[in-house]
Amino acid sequence: MKNQTAIYILKKIGQLALTILVLSILVFLVSRLAPGDPLRAYYGESVEKMSVQQLDHARERLGLNDSLPVQYIRWAADALHGDFGISYIYKQPAAQVVADVYQNTLLLAGVSFLLIFVLGLLLAIFCVRHEGRAVDRMICKIGVAANSIPEFFVALILILLFSVTLGILPQSGAHALGGGETLRHLVLPVSAIVISHLWYCAYLMRNKLSDEVRKEYILLCKVKGLTQNQIIYRHCLRNIMPAVVSIMAIFLPHLLGGAYVVEMVFSYPGLGELGVESAQYHDYNMLMLISLITGAAVVLANMIAQVINEKLDPRIKYEEIREGQS
C-alpha cells in the first residue's frame, strides 16, 4: 500500500512538472513571436537614436540574437536555479519585482475567493429551501444578470458611485499589508470580483444541492422526523461537499482572470497590473514568471481540491490508484 501511495504522489508531482514545462514553452513562443521590440522597454525612446551596431550590441547583451531554442534552454536552466532574468521595464530581477507586489494579489484573490465560497454556499442553500418560489426566481434572474456583466464594467460603476459621487472609498492604489487603509482599498476591488462571479459558483452549488434533496434517502430522513435544516446541513451538504470543492477549484482560473482585470481598473499594484505591463512592453522575463506563477497556482489548487475530495471520500483515491495499476 505504501508503494502505491508513493507512486500516486510521484504521479501528481510529475503532472505538475509537465504542466509547468508545457506552459513555459507556450508562453515563451507566443511572447517571442508577438510583434514588437523588447529593446524599447529596456532603453525607452533612446532606442530610436541607436545605430545599427549599437542595436546589435544591445540585442546581444540581452541574449535576443540567439535562436529561440537556445534562448529557452538558457532561460530554463537559469530558472531552475531561481534566476528568472531581469525585468526590461524595472531594470531589476523579475523575481524581486514580483516579490514586492504578489502579496497584494494574494490578499485580493484570497478574500474574494473566501467570500464567493461562503456567500455562494449560503445563497445556494437559501434558493434550495425556497425553490420554485418568487424569491428563488428573482435571485436567479438577478444572478444571471450580474454574472453577465464584465468585471471592468462593474468596477467602473462602483468607482463612479462610491468614489466619484459619494467620495467614501478610494478608487485606486493599495496600502501596504497591515496598514489601516488596506481594508478601504480592498472594498471596491473585492466587491467588483464578488458581484461578477458569485452567481457562477452559487448556481452550480444550487443545482448540486437541488439534485441531492431529491434523492431517495431524503424521504427516509423525513420519515424519521428530521427537519429541513437537519436534512440539508447534516446530510446533503456533507454529500455534495466533494462536488463543491471541485467547483471552487474549477472556478480559480476565472477568479484570477477577474482579479487581474480589476487590478488594472483600480490601478491596484499586483500581478495582474505587472502582467499587462509586461505584455504591452514585451518584458519577456516578467511575463514568463507571472504566467508560470498563475499556471502553477491553478494546477496546485486543482491538486489540493482533489486531495480534499479524497479525504471526504476515500473511494476517489482508491479508484485512481487502481486506474494507475491497470
pLDDT given at position 190: 92
Regions in the chain scoring below 70 on pLDDT: 1-5, 8, 173-180, 309, 312-326
pLDDT given at position 119: 93
pLDDT given at position 236: 87
Question: Which residue is listed with cell 468585471?
Answer: 151
DSSP secondary structure string for all residues of 164-210: IIS--S-SS--PPTT-TTHHHHHHHHHHHHHHHHHHHHHHHHHHHHH
pLDDT given at position 292: 86
pLDDT given at position 122: 92
Complete domains list, the chain, with CATH:
2-80 (no CATH), 101-325 (1.10.3720.10)
Model confidence pLDDT, tens digit, residues 178-234: 555 778 888 899 999 999 889 888 988 998 888 888 888 888 888 888 888 888 888
